[in-house]
A = this chain, B = another copy of it.
């Protein structure tokens, strides 16, 4: 019975890693499709997303079965409830890749607005965060997971910078409006992928330390003084 349970947990861990790999790959492919202006590759992204949808349902079913049959306690229980959330986060990464591919399809039929520099950089950062979050998950490494949450600010800064730059393109010439708009949406989607990687990292801390770090709950718990709130939000 105990051995079976360990096998079940390993299988669940394996499914989440498979989802994580698929999530990284789909974001990478969506940005490649955008850079190469390749409609076929954009369509592939849209098809690949179905794998993530399917994997999420499989993870959910496994979690519910485990909860019902094994009645896990403490660390295992936290692991399973976190798995439910992580699979949802990874599935949403796929949705953002699809949004990027949709923009890629529209942009492929028009001349390029400008060389893509910051967007691939944002993509590298977001994919790196996703990979490290999954790595921290496998190792149960809360230190690494915590450190990762701070990298989200870098992606937010790049997103802001790109947003401002693309607004100036729009103002300079009405012919730039639709293409600039699509690039703004692509950057927004990458920013959301980085947020989701941060969510996964927060779940890793929760599994390892039984502590909820999102929404600055830690500061609240550790006795933040009134007025110190920064209205931070996930």
Listed in ascending order, the chain A residues whose CB lies under 8 Å from chain B are 46-47, 49-50, 53-54, 56-57, 60-61, 63-64, 67-68, 71, 73-74, 77-78, 81, 84-85, 88, 91, 94-95, 98, 167, 170-172, 174, 177-178, 181, 184, 212, 214-215, 217, 229, 231, 233-234
Contacts and interface: CB of A to CB of B under 8 A. Distances in A.
Copies in the complex: 2
A71 B215 CA distance: 28
A114 B79 CA distance: 50
B171 A98 contact: no
Contacts of A229: 50
Given A46-B231, A167-B181, A60 B95 contact: no
Given A77-B67, A77-B68, A233-B95, A215 B167 contact: no
A231 B47 contact: yes
